[in-house]
Amino acid sequence: MRGARFFVDSPLETGLRLALPERAAHHAARVLRLRVGDALTLFDGRGGEHGASVAEIRGDAVSVEVGPRQDIEREAPLAIVLAQGLSSAERMDLTVQKAVELGVAAIQPLSTEKSLVRLDARRIESRLTHWRRIVVAACEQCGRNRLAEVRAPVSVAELCEATREEPAKWLLAPEAQTRLRDAARGLGRGLVMAAGPEAGFSDAETRALLTSGYAPVHLGPRILRTETAALAALAALNAVAGDG
């Protein structure tokens, strides 16, 4: 069985002894029931990982001894920014989790005209904290040693302005004429991909995206849910232009 992996939000060094963060320590001691001497893997999100071993357990407090660094990377060769329309809590959580597992480099939530979710300043901070925890857990699970970035929500207009100079930009649209595998030909090393919320982008938002250079791309003849469309596109991209 593959050893446990934990994220530590501080630089790791060989020979360092440190306490696991509270969530990781609880998981190690109470869920995995690790014992002194058991092996595990640590990463700090800056690339690479360290072997480690459990040095001490006191209740939910777990101390570990950091071993040698290994320069292992599991990042996708195609750096994708997923600009995802805000969807309901469970759907957005699923999109974040699975997008990270599929190798997305960054997630840019979009506050759209048809989004069912409306976030004020306080809720934005709470959601960002929540989504970033999901990113950490997904990286621990899938083996990534760099954390995908989760950005603060922006409007479609702000997205268009921020990505004005990006060379490769897609709009996932079921009515598009271009298939994903055709659009993927000639892709460079990066892509911004926009996916609407449950009800899709408004006509005005769609026009804005097209005007700012987003190329419409479809994933097939069936209409996919918002949480399915982005993940299907990411998986397909891994197969035709990434690390699949």
Please report which confidence band the pLDDT of residue 244 belongs to, taking 50, 70 and 90 as the band edges. Answer: low
Q: Flag whether pLDDT at 117 surpasses 50.
A: yes
Q: What is the pLDDT of residue 89?
A: 79
Mean pLDDT, residues 146-169 taken together: 97
Mean pLDDT, residues 149-178 taken together: 96
Mean pLDDT, residues 54-75 taken together: 95
Instruction: Tell whether domain 4-70 is in CATH 2.40.240.20.
Output: yes
Strands 61-70 and 49-58, sheet pairing: antiparallel
Its sign, for the CA torsion 181, 81, 150, 164, is negative
Q: Flag whether pLDDT at 48 surpasses 90.
A: yes
Q: What is the pLDDT of residue 1?
A: 38
User: Measured between alpha carbons, how far is 34 from 54 in angstroms, rounded to an integer?
Assistant: 8
DSSP 46: B
CATH topology of domain 79-241: Alpha/beta knot (3.40.1280)
Q: Encoding tokens for residue 194? A: 């926009």
Please report which confidence band the pLDDT of residue 2 belongs to, taking 50, 70 and 90 as the band edges. Answer: low
Helix, strand, or coil here: 129?
Answer: helix
Q: Which residues of the chain are in CATH 3.40.1280.10 domains? A: 79-241
